[in-house]
A and B are shown apart, each in its own frame.
Chain A
């Protein structure tokens, strides 16, 4: 079936829904395509909060938020983008409140704010020092859930058109201009052609390249890999965030909000070890630093119970605080660990959480192809799948929610402008048979006789990535991971699946997703192997120092006939010169 719609939004999390809302308010015909039902999107699992320098509890300024973001990202952040993030966070929060989002309140009815890792203000006693600031607005520990629900509700109110369970499998590009997408209707297996003026990918992250991850099963990097195969580079893939407090072995996230409310991290000897690694911010240091500290404690034999975890300790917070401010994550501890957080220590380990890298864009979410900032006209990306880059080498807590909303909205606004501009030019014609590549890929998998099992390949990739491309990396491990991924890609070509039916063939769709994950694992490992320095979330044991002289630059990984080719792009520095990063 062929559909013709001015603006397409692929993905129904925070970025996609905000863009759709802006497009619909501007009268642009828009459709949202989601491989699930929109309310299943991963935005809903964000817990702790969303930062904006409202200053409701104490003095705060967007410039301080901007500075924290740049320092938190170990100076790989594009500073013009960080300025937009910090400024527009404020208007965005008020807009969400006006849409009805049920934020927690101060006793006098204003938006309450809590601490979050790496978010600081100058110490009034000693302005050279920085201390935590109340900057994160929140709705208990289900802030993302409330954002997703509120945006979906508003999309219903504004009659946004949804195609639920339509899985996008290809991007249509003609003569350097984006012209639409190919999607499969999951329920029937039918391929649909969507002809559009502008397409936004808001398809989320790809934590499923790892075995221990907080990410949903659906986070398979579809958008990033589809664009890559159509010539768009993947940017800064070696920067992946490992969140310090994942439930041991399961990876389920226990929000930083626990530490915002005063929880401790303790090792097997009962010591609050962060006092040694980050004397000023302690448990509220940035995530990359805490995750490295945890691994170092475990390696030094100070893990909990002599094992490979440490503990999150919330016992002293008391039932009232836990019930009011952390109900969901304490429920996770009870359900998944059979422990009572009021009386028991909680075993945690770092969990693969967030992709700083992704599809390169400018500040209006327009996809760019190289260091000359050449645009792919009509193609946009926002949210975790995009790399603006506001997070640089390490994202601060809550800034993902700020990112999806600020840049999702900017995407919607610019797409509306672009769609109006295209009225003079006319629609880009579609190529003759835009579904052919997709149909070919599907046929190859469905008819595959090689006998390889997708479940086995996926498991091996995930284990390899967690073991060899995790919190700490080294040359030998990365080379070995590179070889394994390349072998897995060969095995992938010999895949066989069992389900041959048309409707709801999730056997087939999971196999497609695995193909994308393998591309992403490959560029992640190659980027990490090439970058011979340690910066933010990328910690090389053989190159433990940051090296601005050689590596203050973004990585661009291209898909070519001769394999992956790496290029680099300068970092935009407007206000803050790189300094040593201490907390």
Chain B
């Protein structure tokens, strides 16, 4: 096992004792194929136990450890240290209140998610077996079913940074997943919600969200498809 020394610069803030954020600097020994999360654990478990972050699955599925790494949003468990040259700089996500170190307040994020009716609606009595859906109908919304609600997209959006009323890319992705599901009947209500001034029209097609998505979802395209659907409704 070959270990390499790496320098980490981590933005720290504990409201119980700090009046403003500060930079913690740490030298850790890691393997090049280690995840940035492994390097953070090396700090927490062997240098400074007070470093605080959220994490769970450690392979890019649970969505807990989205953060800013060298200025770009990423899941700390889905990027390897060898992808970065020199110092690795780690900060909490932008746009939400920092609660401690790399932990931000996710409640407003989930409130926006809840605002778009993020659940299947079909009030007809279901058949005894499955409802039918052709593979091409299923493919129509496949991309947006991948969302893990990590908030990397929403917190990379300059519109969201300056206007927290905006429902944000993640919530629109979730709405898209149902709007284009042939079995769902809540489309009109969801479109109505996204047509409001906090909705899709705030998007300036900047593509930061698509770049930030660790699941490779074409977020900007999904937002565009919802806009298109709203425009079609006018005729």
Interface residues of A (CB under 8 A from B): 36-37, 39-42, 44-45, 54, 93-94, 97-100, 102-111, 139-140, 142, 145-146, 149-150, 153-154, 156-157, 164, 187, 216-218, 252, 328, 331-332, 335-338, 453-456, 458-459, 497-499, 501-507
Contact = CB atoms under 8 A, between A and B. Distances in A.
Interface string B83-123: 00000000000000001110100110010001000111010
Contacts of A502: 16
Contacts of A40: 54, 56-57, 62-64
B58 A100 contact: no
Interface in B134-176: 134-135, 137-138, 141-142, 145-146, 148-149
A37 B111 CA distance: 13
Given A139-B145, A153-B119, A453-B46, A503 B133 contact: no
Contacts of A106: 135
B135 A39 contact: no
A455 B49 CA distance: 9
Interface string B12-28: 00111100000000000
29 contacts: A40-B57, A94-B128, A97-B130, A99-B120, A103-B130, A105-B138, A106-B135, A109-B132, A140-B142, A142-B146, A164-B107, A187-B99, A217-B56, A217-B57, A252-B58, A332-B60, A453-B46, A455-B44, A501-B16, A501-B100, A502-B16, A503-B99, A503-B100, A504-B52, A504-B100, A506-B52, A506-B53, A507-B44, A507-B52
A324 B151 CA distance: 26
B33 interface: yes
B131 A97 contact: yes
B72 interface: no
B106 to A, nearest CB: 6
Nearest to A214: B59
A508 to B, nearest CB: 9
B98 to A, nearest CB: 11
Contacts of A103: 130
A202 B217 CA distance: 31
B72 to A, nearest CB: 15
A105 B64 contact: no
Among A39, A54, A454, max chain B CB count under 10 A is at: A39
Contacts of A150: 120
B129 A94 contact: yes
Contact of A504 (B33, B58, B103, B148): B103
Contact of B58 (A105, A108, A216, A497): A216
Contacts of A104: 135, 138
A62 B218 CA distance: 40
Given A94-B130, A107-B135, A501 B17 contact: yes
Nearest to A109: B132
B52 A499 contact: yes
B193 interface: no
B78 A102 contact: no
A102 to B, nearest CB: 5
B64 A109 contact: no
B230 interface: no
A499 B49 contact: yes
Interface residues of B, number: 61
Given A37-B106, A102-B141, A105-B135, 14 more contacts: A39-B63, A42-B56, A42-B57, A100-B181, A106-B135, A139-B145, A156-B114, A187-B99, A454-B45, A458-B45, A498-B49, A503-B14, A503-B16, A503-B100
A197 B130 CA distance: 36
Nearest to A247: B59
Nearest to B57: A216
Nearest to A150: B120
A502 B106 CA distance: 19
Given A44-B57, A94-B129, A504 B99 contact: yes
A107 B136 CA distance: 9
Contacts of B187: none
Contacts of A44: 57, 61-62, 148
Among B17, B48, B145, B178, max chain A CB count under 10 A is at: B145
Contact of A37 (B55, B59, B110, B141): B110
B63 A146 contact: no
B110 A154 contact: no
Among B35, B46, B61, B129, max chain A CB count under 10 A is at: B61
Contacts of A503: 14-16, 99-100
Contact of A156 (B15, B16, B80, B119): B119
Contacts of A328: 61
A458 B46 CA distance: 12
B7 interface: no
A337 B32 CA distance: 11
B20 to A, nearest CB: 17
Contacts of B45: 453-455, 458-459
B171 to A, nearest CB: 13
Among A104, A108, A335, max chain B CB count under 10 A is at: A335
Interface string B196-209: 00000000000000
A316 B118 CA distance: 39
Nearest to A39: B149
Q: Across the A-B interface, give the 3 residue pairs with the lowest CB-CB distance, nearest first.
A: A100-B120, A455-B45, A109-B132
A35 B134 CA distance: 39
Nearest to A499: B50
Contacts of B192: none
Contacts of B128: 94
Contacts of B58: 216-217, 252
B183 interface: yes
B17 A100 contact: no
B100 A145 contact: no
Nearest to B128: A94
Contacts of A36: 54, 56, 62, 64
A336 B59 contact: yes
A45 B57 contact: yes
Contacts of B131: 97-98
B52 A45 contact: no
A130 B178 CA distance: 41
Interface string B33-52: 10100000000111011101
B159 to A, nearest CB: 24
B134 A109 contact: yes
Nearest to A139: B145
